[in-house]
Structure 1
Amino acid sequence: MNIQNHPVVSREEWITARKQHLAREKAFTRERDKLSAERRALPWVKVDKDYRFQGPNGPLTLADLFGGRSQLIVYHFMFAKGWDEGCPGCSFLSDHIDGANQHLAHHDIALVAVSHAPFAEFQAFRRRMGWKFDWVSSAGSDFNYDFGVSARAEDVAAGKATYNYEKSDGAEEELPGLSVFYRNDKGEIFHTYSAYARGLDLLVGAYNYLDLAPKGRNEEEIMEWVRHHDKYDEGEKSSCCHGG
């Protein structure tokens, strides 16, 4: 983005423009609150299938992932069987989870990552990234397929694969997503919401910072600049506020 010829005005003119934009920001916030309320009002679907997962201490059910809470948010992390490392975009998003979890865990929400690869295959990558959040495997289960983040090879080949509730033109068998569940006092579990693609932007706090800055996200393709956090060149890091 070329910002070299950006308009420069007096402080008084800037205040006028800022107030005009503030009115739009407030309207957007109210609309966002309304949209969030509509999201919470969506109907639910009861989950009757017996999904099984693998965690650090053995097999788990979907109910186990709630950890005693009534609300469960699952991040469908792209890590398939045979991969050496996770998707950079999923990793970018997941860098935000541990901070949020310090608070969500005390507000009746369990936040768990689920990947299609066998559990043992992503442990080295998890240690490398330094993450603490719960991350389990759905290998051998229909979970990824039923919640729209994995496609069977035959469906991709036949052009029957879907993503984000519509036919997918891509050939990817693994894609990112988010699914939300509620467990009532009787132990019944309901699927309340899922989001994919740009619907996951809300989880990426760094994008909110970028949207505030003059250059914005400054990307031609979504997350094309993103790297695993241990792969950025040292020269790209500012020394500001780090004693340099």
Structure 2
Amino acid sequence: MFGPDWVEGCPSCSFVTDHLDGVIDHLKARDVTLVLVSRAPQEKLAVFKKWMGWRTPWFSSGGCEFNQDFAVSFSAAEVAGGAKAYNFGTIAPYGEENPGLSFFYKDPGGAILHTYSTYTRGLEVLLGAYAVLDRAPKGRDEANLPWPMAWVRYHDKYEPTTQGAESCCHNKTSQ
């Protein structure tokens, strides 16, 4: 989501976080706490979080192996060697930082238990924008892109549009 020497967070991971940030109060009502974890220093995370307008708690795992232990961060050598440790061994990591979501449970005795993880396409179920696009006439319209999420930008970095496409609800005479 945000590597230790990156200037900004990953746009695709930010797209996921945009979807999750709006539900944190609903999750809290069900005794679920959502947090973000990245290897970048806490100071960088705080600046980026403020820019994005997120409320979700975000912690730095810099200096520990948390991200490596849960198979979302890899060394340059692992990436270059095509290590098959990502996504339960089904694909090589995309780079040193990769998307993933893990769940933990704190039992009554205080033990922290890892209960679930998902990676890459497993995160799509959380993306309301994809749910809408999947029902739109052109769908995701990603076939001619270099990679499926190449169109994704930070939510404040899309080119402004001045006119909607012609449709049953909008045409040049209804402007």
Q: Distance in 2 between matches of 1:189 and 1:153?
A: 30
Amino acid at match of 1:203: L
- Map of 1:205-220 to 2, 5 A cutoff? 205-220=128-143
Amino acid at match of 2:150: E
**Over alpha carbons, which structure has the higher Rg?**
1
**Residue 86 of structure 1: how far off its partner (Å):** 0.8
**Residue 153 of structure 1: how far off its partner (Å):** 2.3
Aligned equivalent of 1:228, options 144, 154, 159: 154
Residues 215 and 171 of structure 1: CA distance in aligned 2, closer, same or farther (over 3 Å): closer
Task: Give every structure 1 segment of 4 or more consecutive aligned residues whose post-TM-superposition deviation is greater than 4 Å.
Answer: none
- Map of 1:67-86 to 2, 5 A cutoff? 78-86=1-9
Match of 1:182 in 2: 105
Amino acid at match of 2:40: A
Q: Distance in 1 between matches of 2:63 and 2:27?
A: 29
**Residue 171 of structure 1: how far off its partner (Å):** 5.7
Q: Distance in 2 between matches of 1:188 and 1:169?
A: 32
What's the CA shift string for 1:17-73, capped at 9, x where partnerless?
xxxxxxxxxxxxxxxxxxxxxxxxxxxxxxxxxxxxxxxxxxxxxxxxxxxxxxxxx
**Residue 98 of structure 1: how far off its partner (Å):** 2.2
* Number of aligned residue pairs: 164
Any unmatched runs of 5+ in structure 1? 1-77
Amino acid at match of 2:2: F
Q: Which TM-score applies when normalising by structure 1?
A: 0.62
Aligned equivalent of 1:135, options 47, 58, 61: 58
Q: Distance in 2 between matches of 1:160 and 1:199?
A: 20
- Map of 1:1-244 to 2, 5 A cutoff? 78-160=1-83, 162-166=85-89, 168-170=91-93, 172-220=95-143, 221-235=147-161, 238=164
Q: Higher helix share goes to which structure?
A: 1
**Residue 169 of structure 1: how far off its partner (Å):** 3.8
What's the CA shift string for 1:83-114, capped at 9, x where partnerless?
11111111111111222112001101001111
**Residue 156 of structure 1: how far off its partner (Å):** 2.7
What's the CA shift string for 1:98-145, capped at 9, x where partnerless?
221120011010011111111111222211111111111110111000
Q: Which TM-score applies when normalising by structure 2?
A: 0.85
Any unmatched runs of 5+ in structure 2? 170-174
The question of whether the paired residues in 2 share the 8 Å contact of 1:181 and 1:191 is answered with yes
The question of whether the paired residues in 1 share the 8 Å contact of 2:37 and 2:58 is answered with yes
Percent identity reads 50
